[in-house]
Structure 1
């Protein structure tokens, strides 16, 4: 028998789509992918060389459960340099990806029936992670009309005596929204007042455009810092998704609990990848800026093309590498055997008729949107937008 907790878990809705894409490609049909949630750039050469060096130097053994001491020291330096925050190695844990850091944090602080407030749209794994702890996800819809900014009044109305945390993600997947400092600060003040944690997922922190900057929640005040668990990693900023190195910083007692839990699950992250991540944090800013500049060009082009398409409405986000066009104008419209009644229908239609892969927004609690990742070459984005525009014109 399968456990009840797994039976209640909702599988990733993108798996069926991925299978369809794989079948088309096996038939030799080209599909332009706008569904990928990772940079299309390769990991910088200096980082790769450090991994090779790690193997030669014998960094192939277990590390402490919380991660390699040198890497944790480098993470402390990063937060001091970027945000003038003081952490010690006892306040840092390195995990097998930011996803594990998030799971560790929730397992460390959430008891059955505790509530975790999550602004939506959100990354769907948040909800399943909370459910797996026995906690209760409390979903609070943000307003598309104002760019999915934090709606503090809505969040505050959901705070109860059972609220253990609010989980935020800025820059945001899937919307690309970058939360305003004044809103994050107000949320931090609520955390202090009502004694709950903020789990702040900042894994896209380097990918912010139009002169905006990432608001690091823990940097807003000492009181807010004491209530904040910051999640980050090297995956998005340094094109290292497959290296599986994430990290968290936060109150010492919480990090210790996370480390204790990790010690009984995965023990410690990949040793050579940890060694290479020191190089990523220390000597890769030039790469980050070049990648960010290219993403910015793609972002502007993608939003411009989408808003030129009749029936599409898409706000211009200032972070990550996603946009979320609203497609409800097309509900009830048809072409051949297709009728569009929801985002899933639109995803199937665009895959079959335009040979482009986009993601159903309902996977992220966005019931009238699709998610498009511009983590693809500008040439492919141009071709994909041409195909999409032509396919949409056929819907009557």
Structure 2
């Protein structure tokens, strides 16, 4: 038996991937499973991006690149940040990595010493705390309840900060809640971070998927101080339906970017060359497909939200972005005879043939995450199955 390093012994496997694997196993057995666990758009990468990737290969662009990304891709990112957020960065303030997840992992590895604390609001994306722990850091959680629209307050943040606090992670729009911090809310958080001199890790991967009359603000836009202490994390995965291409980036302090780039040079050499050329086209080419996809997700949300809201024992807040619903379902679990929401989720998979993600993976144990990144037909059928499952087992 391998004598594993202590750092991996406390890792919690990805709940999202585990449920997806179980659902796929049942599908392979011929079971009619509808999966609502997807964390990726159900659209193919736009054709003009595919063609750019193909052309790069035919042109012989298949060799190593600089560890932190092709200069042309960095420039495309710089231009995007200038256009979308009116933020100015230089090439030495941008690092391209193997997806936003790899960029975050690299950040924590170069940022944290043993015992350093990172504040993570609950609900959180599953990998934040695990990556902090792998860097020998300590996740410090702040619970943002449904009554707060799953957004932390400045007072909560202030109370969570200690002399070991190194950073806070903000994810807006959020996975799994779909909620968005307003400009005013971000300004209050930025002021607390200035007061205590802590880094802001701003995960903006869902910025292009926003619905209704809200808008996305990067906290780095608010002031020069906020910009200097913010590391923006983003990429093409969600905006351009390029999850498998694995291209993400960080933009921020040049010393931090240099350290991340140096570490990446010893771990990945460089992001996949073909994917980088695809990402250049994603940022510089037509953006029609981005808006078409956003509109499709908004249409699905409008159609499916009232159906989820009508399920007995479900309480759900309408999301403002991303492509997830996060209903509170503890009452439904209890009334249908299950001791926990995790057990309820397992029963939904094995009895109702619907795969959802338990909120325990996001630190929100009374919830489940439903992804509407699938066809409206499948969504409608899945929600009807869940509704029927709950009503058939309901006991007062």
Alignment TM-score, normalising by the size of structure 2: 0.97
1:309 equivalent among 298, 311, 318: 311
User: 1:228: which partner in 2?
Assistant: 230
Asked if the contact 2:233–2:250 (Cα under 8 Å) also holds between the matched residues in 1, the reply is yes
Q: Residue in 1 aligned with 2:346?
A: 348
Q: Which residue of 2 aligns with 1:63?
A: 65
C-alpha deviation, 1:22, in angstroms: 2.3
CA distance in 2, matches of 1:325, 1:252: 40
1:216 aligns with 2:214: no
Aligned residue for 2:240, secondary structure, equals: coil
CA drift of 1:15 comes to: 4.4
Distance (whole Å) between structure 2 residues aligned to residue 215 and residue 385 of structure 1: 32
Q: What RMSD in Å do the two structures reach over aligned CA positions? A: 1.1
Q: Can you give the 5+ residue segments of structure 2 that lack an aligned partner in the other structure?
A: none
Which residue is 2:327 aligned to? Answer: 325
Q: In 2, Cα distance between the equivalents of 1:192 and 1:151? A: 15
Kindly indicate whether the alpha-carbon contact (under 8 Å) linking 1:74 and 1:278 is maintained by their aligned counterparts in 2.
yes
Q: Which residue of 2 aligns with 1:366?
A: 364
Match of 2:297 in 1: 295
Aligned residue in 2 for 1:247: 249
> How far does residue 16 in structure 1 lie from its aligned partner after superposition?
4.0
1:265-308 C-alpha deviation (Å, 9 max, x unpaired): 11110001101111101123211110000000111222210111
Distance 1:323 1:86 in 2: 34
Write the distance in 2 (CA, Å) between the matches of 1:284 and 1:387.
Answer: 39
Q: Is the 8 A contact 1:149 1:180 kept in 2?
A: no
Partner of 1:281: 283
Identify the residue that residue 379 of structure 2 maps to in structure 1.
381
Deviations, residues 6-50 of structure 1 (Å, cap 9, x unaligned)? 112112234443343123212211111100100001000000000
Equivalences, count: 392
Q: What's 1:161 paired with?
A: 163
SS in 2 for 1:200: strand
C-alpha distance in 2, partners of 1:194/1:17? 39
**Which has the higher mean CA deviation after the structures are superposed, 152-161 or 19-28?**
19-28
TM-score, with structure 1 as normaliser: 0.97
Secondary structure of 1:198's partner? strand
Partner Cα distance (1:84, 1:349) in 2: 48
Tell me the SS of whatever aligns to 2:37. coil
The whole-number CA distance in structure 1 between the counterparts of 2:272 and 2:224 is: 33
